Structure 1
């Protein structure tokens, strides 16, 4: 279970709520108490239409939180596309780098190679500012799977163990409703390649399209999606509502 801590002003769900370091740390500790195994810290919003954040500002937001949590023995991942932020976060104690850009930036692979950290490779068509304008695929499952396996092969060649490379199909990142549904139904096929799979659907637009609910009213839909993702082979689910999701998974595991 990966709990989300966005240290941003413009994230689609909780932008601005945990922008200050003490509040971000407090929220992270609350998520751990609720059952989070990991805390995913991000200092740059990747919502559709988001604007880039300068590296020095992202460092200012992220590193103190990573350092404080790592000193408490909490497993932390950092959501970033920037090699400089990756290296600094690893130095501060992060255990996994979560890159929506698939470690394609110059120096990104080198930033994690030989550092004894895990790497989460996500698929994104385009970039956050424009990715939802008109996403198109011939075969979304085949194309996303091929991309993820190609990027994981690059990381393996750089020395990362296979089991330390997590694959994330990137729900909502350059995908429409039909693309997201097809990828969700193909989670068992993706998991069959032997890498851990992360699914992140918490409060996303697809759930709003299905339910007609606004962002702040998508908890039930998010819990249902996370539970189904685990049933379909996801090893990790990235969520805002940790306590509720943990309870749902506990009940499923006891009663299945």
Structure 2
């Protein structure tokens, strides 16, 4: 007997008006009207934000991606250049970092693969190697990226950020950060569509902490429904970020609880993809939230289901 109900969401949960709820990513199909995708993070950089180079070696990067898929990730995001300001990396060197990882993961798993890049040349090589998505954290600073996506039929994540790639943007200021971020994403989505990207291939990301201070990012988290109301699946990249550290006075190693709380708040505001470091814990938080929303059945039912109150399974 099924306990799933029709996809009607009760207040205070926000149901975004998705233009295209069902998305095909290679062998996988996701229905964002009743599923939240978990995007794991694999950075093949010697100076990554969270793991400080722990997955820089090729074997380590491939192993981390496959482990993430086993632990419940729907998706792995593979990057070769951090967002933080720093020297430019050539397309050749960036491709050398990400393409072998993508090839190895695509050969051994049906997990969705995105490449975190803003260079059209890298995007083209990554898609040819098996990537399904281009995750652009620069908000189409290079419109040629959209042209590559359009030509290949890949998905495109459009992220709000103000700085030129890998440059400093001191003291970002907004009159109304959420309205301005939403307007930016709407404009960039229209640009992508004008360059040939299909609307059903677009995902938007408000860019938590990217050229924003902690107060800005908390406001985006609180009003995430306004981002989701753009009609494209909305991604929340909240994992272990500085806004959590500053809010809770915690170093990166202690930010898991704050990351999970922020992620769930975004889901309730309409987020349909979470980009997270701690895969197993994030998968559990997502599955619990989906069950509360009526989208997922519990793994089993014993408690108060019979004449005797059965103990929970270990």
Q: Normalising by structure 2, report the TM-score.
A: 0.78
Q: How far apart are 1:106 and its partner, in Å?
A: 4.9
Q: Which one of the candidate residues 117, 129, 145 is aligned to 2:167?
A: 129
- The 5 A counterparts of 1:114-153 are 114-127=151-164, 128-131=166-169, 133-153=170-190
Is the Cα–Cα contact under 8 Å of residues 41 and 77 in structure 2 kept in the other structure? yes
State how far apart, in whole Å, the 2-side matches of 1:235 and 1:152 are. 17
Match of 1:71 in 2: 107
Q: Which runs of no fewer than 5 residues in structure 1 stay unpaired?
A: none
Match of 1:184 in 2: 221
- The 5 A counterparts of 1:91-240 are 91-127=128-164, 128-131=166-169, 133-240=170-277
More helix by share: 1
Structure of higher CA gyration radius: 2
Answer yes or no: is 1:62 the counterpart of 2:63.
Answer: no
The CA RMSD measured in Å over matched residues stands at 1.4
Q: How far apart are 1:177 and its partner, in Å?
A: 1.2
Q: Normalising by structure 1, report the TM-score.
A: 0.95
Q: Which one of the candidate residues 19, 39, 42 is aligned to 2:56?
A: 19
Higher deviation after alignment, 10-19 or 103-112: 103-112
State how far apart, in whole Å, the 2-side matches of 1:253 and 1:142 are. 28
Match of 1:53 in 2: 89
Is the Cα–Cα contact under 8 Å of residues 146 and 156 in structure 2 kept in the other structure? no
State how far apart, in whole Å, the 2-side matches of 1:221 and 1:181 are. 12
Instruction: Number of aligned residue pairs: give it.
Output: 254
Which structure is richer in relative contact order (CA contacts within 8 A, separation 6 or more)?
Answer: 2
